[in-house]
Amino acid sequence: MVRRLPVVQNAASSGPASRSVAYRVGAGALLTVACWVPLALLLAPIGARVAARAVGVAPEDVASGAVRWSGHDAARFATLAALPILTAFGIAAFGSGFAFARFGGSGRRDGAAAALLAGFVLVGVAKASRSGPSWTEAIVALPAVSLVGVGCGILGALLGQPRKGGGRDP
Q: What is the mean pLDDT of residues 3-12?
A: 66
More confident of the two residues 49 and 64: 49
pLDDT digits 0-9 by tens, 97-109: 998 888 876 678 8
Please give the pLDDT value at position 90: 95
Burial track 99-138 (b if 16+ CB lie within 10 A, e otherwise): bbbeebbbbbebbbbbbbbbbeebbeeebeeeeeeeeeeb
Please give the pLDDT value at position 16: 55
Residues 6+ apart with CB under 8 A from 129: none
Q: What is the mean pLDDT of residues 73-77?
A: 84
Domain ranges for the chain, please list them: 21-160
Residue 166 has pLDDT above 50, yes or no: yes
pLDDT digits 0-9 by tens, 116-144: 999 999 988 888 887 778 888 888 889 99
- The whole-model pTM stands at 0.79
Residue 15 has pLDDT above 80, yes or no: no
Q: How confident is the model at residue 8 (pLDDT cuts 50, 70, 90)?
A: low
